[in-house]
Copies of this chain bind each other. A is one copy, B any other.
Amino acid sequence: MKELKEFFEDSGRIVDETLDKLIPSDNFEPKRLYEAVRWSVFAGGKRFRPALVLAVGKTFGADEAKLLRTASAIEMIHTYSLIHDDLPAMDNDDLRRGRATCHVKFDEATAILAGDVLQSMAFRTIAEDENLGAEIKVKLTAELADSAAKMVDGQQLDLDGEGKRISIENLEKIHRNKTGAIICISARSGAIIADASENELDAITKYASSLGLLFQITDDLLDITQTTEVLGKTAGKDLTSKKSTYPSFYGIEGTRKLAEKVRLEAINSLNKIEKDTRILKDLVDFILERKK
C-alpha cells in the first residue's frame, strides 16, 4: 500500500493547493465568513472524495488538470454538509477532526452561511473550469446537484429515524443517500471527465456504491472501537444516542464479516475493467483497515 500512501499524499497536497486558490482568502470581506469557510475546509480532512475523483480519472487516462476543480468542488459540498450536520439543531457536535466545529469556533449564523456559500462555490468551481468542455460541465453539474440533494434527503431520513428502531432496509437507504451519493459522484465524475465507456461507468458506479457502503460500515465500527482522541470526533455517540447502526443489527463480528463481503463486491466490480485498477483496489483496503 506504499503506492496508495504516496497517491494520497500527492493528491491531498494538490487538492489543498487548488482549494486554497479557489476559496477567497480570510482577508476577503466579509472576513468572518471566509475565516469560517477556511477553518472548516482546511481542518486536516482526509480528502478521500477528491482522491477518489483523481484515482478513477487517472485510471481511465484523464489529465490531472481536468480533474482538480471537480475534485475540489466535491470537497466543498462535503465540507458544507459537515458544517451543517454539526449544528446544534442537527447532530450538535462540538468536535470535528480534532478541533472545534465551525459554529463553536465562530457562531451558528456564520456556520450556516459558511455552508451555504460553500455550496454555491462548488457549482461555480465546475462552471468556471477552463479545462473542461461545456457538455461535460453540464453533466457534472447535474449529477453533483442530484447527489447533493440526495445527501440532504439522507440527513433528513437520519434525523427522522433518531430514537426509533428502524429496519436494515431503511438504514441502508439513509446511508445510500447521506454518504453514498457523494462518494458515487466522486468516482463517476472521474470516469465522466476521462470519457470512460458506458460499461466502464457502470462498473465504476457499482464499485463506488460498495465503497460507500464499506465506508459507512467501518464508520459504525470505529465509533464503537476507537477513542475520541484517535477519531478527532466524539466516539461512542451512536450507542449513547441509541442510533441504529450495522453493529446494532449484526454485532461487531457480524459487521466485520459484512465488511469483508462488501469489500469483495467492490473488488469484483473492478475486475470488469480492463485497466490497471491497483490504486482503486488499494483504496478499498484502505477503507476497510482505516483506524479513523
Contacts and interface: CB of A to CB of B under 8 A. Distances in A.
A159 interface: yes
B113 A116 contact: no
A108 B137 contact: no
Contact of A124 (B84, B115, B117, B142): B142
Q: How many copies of this chain?
A: 2
A97 to B, nearest CB: 21
Q: Chain A interface residue count: which class? A: 35 or more
Nearest to A147: B120
B138 A32 contact: no
Given A33-B152, A84-B116, A121 B109 contact: no
Given A33-B156, A87-B112, A127-B142, 4 more contacts: A110-B159, A127-B138, A133-B134, A134-B137
Interface of A: 29-30, 32-33, 80, 84, 87, 89-90, 107-110, 112-113, 115-117, 119-121, 123-124, 126-128, 133-135, 137-139, 141-142, 144-146, 148-149, 152-153, 155-157, 159-160
23 contacts: A29-B153, A30-B157, A33-B152, A80-B116, A84-B112, A84-B113, A89-B108, A89-B112, A109-B156, A110-B156, A110-B159, A113-B152, A113-B159, A116-B152, A119-B119, A123-B145, A124-B145, A126-B141, A127-B139, A133-B134, A134-B135, A137-B138, A137-B141
